[in-house]
Amino acid sequence: MRTLCIFWAMPAFPLVQALRRALVVVDVTVEEMVGIHFQRDEMIQTIKDLAQSGQFDALVDSHFWFDKDSPPSSFAELKPTLGRAGTPGADLIPELRGLGLDFVPKYQYSSFAGGSPLEAYLRNRSIEEVVITGINTDMCVLATALDSFYARFKTRVVNSGVSTFNGQIGQIDGLAAIKRYLCVGGSCDGVVGPDVYLKHNVPTILAQSHAKEERSPVTSRAGSSDLHNIRGRKSLVL
């Protein structure tokens, strides 16, 4: 009797399941970018490269947006003219419009705090890793990174994708604080360069869908007036 042997084809290397990740762009609005001079152009280019890399399962535009239906905010009381709904200054900067970022409103220094639906947005998409860019490194980016960590997301800040109106000193201090809280010993991947996501530019399903069809203004934000409903509120996705 012959013995039939069947061999299953196995990959030469074990397959590693990539984490589902989100790119979160913090406070890159027209009015807030006025005071940004330190690596401004590099930051904008890094955000664009990351958003178009195909390495993210969600793209988020998180910035202040206060209208009559917003939850109470100590930040809004502190700075009553910032992030006013319907004002040109409260919009995403033109350079980042049209990238398919979903708008999620922000009410405190942290994008997660004060009644923001950001965590619910991320959980609904099974996001495991949060990659943070935007401003200001030593304020809102830091606060957002800490809250992301507290919520038990793998959290990374891209060093060339963030900036601050406090210039190079504020950048150094902000990144140092993030490393201090998110890193253990001499090993740290809480602050990374953009090459971590750009060197292996393998498109994900999300990126392919972005390339094939334009996202609905009801579920994405391009910065134009058609993303405001009759009450002047931006469209957002939960």
Q: Mind listing the domains of the chain with CATH numbers?
A: 21-224 (3.40.50.850)
Nearest CA to 105 out of 84, 77, 130 is that of 84
pLDDT at 183: 84
pLDDT at 213: 39
More confident residue, 8 or 147: 147
What DSSP letter does each residue of 50-71 carry, written as one string?
HHTSS--SEEEEEEE-B-TTSP
Mean pLDDT (whole number) for 83-110: 97
Cis peptide before 136 (omega within 30 of 0): yes
23-55 pLDDT, tens digit each: 999 999 999 999 999 999 999 999 999 999 999
Task: Kindly state the helix (H) or strand (E) to which residue 197 belongs, with its residue range.
Answer: helix 195-198
From 15-19, 170-174, 221-225, the region with the lowest mean pLDDT: 221-225
Longest Cα–Cα distance in the chain: 87
Report the percent of the chain where pLDDT is more than 70.
76
Confidence of residue 114 (pLDDT cuts 50, 70, 90): very high
Please tell me the distance from the alpha carbon of residue 130 to that of residue 25, in angstroms, as a whole number: 10
From the CB of residue 135, how many other CB atoms can be counted at a distance below 10 Å?
27
Number of H helices, E strands in the chain: 7, 6
Please tell me the distance from the alpha carbon of residue 31 to that of residue 50, in angstroms, as a whole number: 23
Nearest CA to 106 out of 69, 147, 62 is that of 62
Q: Which residues of 176-192 are buried (b: 16+ CB within 10 A; e: fewer)?
A: ebbeeebeeeeeeebbb
- Residue 193: which residues within 8 A CB-CB, separation 6 or more? 158, 159, 160
From the CB of residue 237, how many other CB atoms can be counted at a distance below 10 Å?
18
Please tell me the distance from the alpha carbon of residue 113 to that of residue 72, in angstroms, as a whole number: 11
